[in-house]
Amino acid sequence: EVQLVESGGGLVQPGGSLRLSCAASGFTFSSYWMSWVRQAPGKGLEWVANIKQDGSEKYYVDSVKGRFTISRDNAKNSLYLQMNSLRAEDTAVYYCARGPYQLLVGYYFDYWGQGTLVTVSS
């Protein structure tokens, strides 16, 4: 059974840092792109970042470029999101998701964790 379990969320002051982790199990982690997707309270989903299987390619939404860093440790079956210079608008539930997986000219995220809440407030 595929499982994705996020951790590391919490309350942090504006300008602070936080590192999120996602522990993966039930599949060959090193074979998949992985992503972070967030959801601000009462709002919709927003793709944040993703990373290729070997970590050689990383992509970010414009609003977090230069502040967030996605990484992975395939030996530990773990995905990470280092978040620096946090702002109030970064407050959200952060989901770890497997994918994007490409099928012809479509992409999808097939498994999601339960999310971890990050609150940026003084």
Partner 1 sequence: SSELTQDPAVSVALGQTVRITCQGDSLRSYYASWYQQKPGQAPVLVIYGKNNRPSGIPDRFSGSSSGNTASLTITGAQAEDEADYYCNSRDSSGNLNWVFGGGTKLTVL
Residues in touch with partner 1 (CB under 8 A): 35, 37, 44-47, 50, 57, 59, 61-62, 95, 100, 103-115
Nearer to partner 1, 42 or 75 (CB): 42
Cα(6)–Cα(8) distance, rounded to whole angstroms?
A: 7
CB of 18 to partner 1, least distance (A): 20
Distance of closest approach, residue 106 Cβ to partner 1, in angstroms: 3
- Give the Cα separation of 93 and 51 in Å (integer): 19
Give the residue with the Cβ less far from partner 1, 13 or 63: 63
Closest CA to 79 of 64, 94, 101, 63: 94
Judge contact between 29 and 22, C-beta under 8 A.
no
Q: Closer to partner 1 at the Cβ: 66 or 106?
A: 106
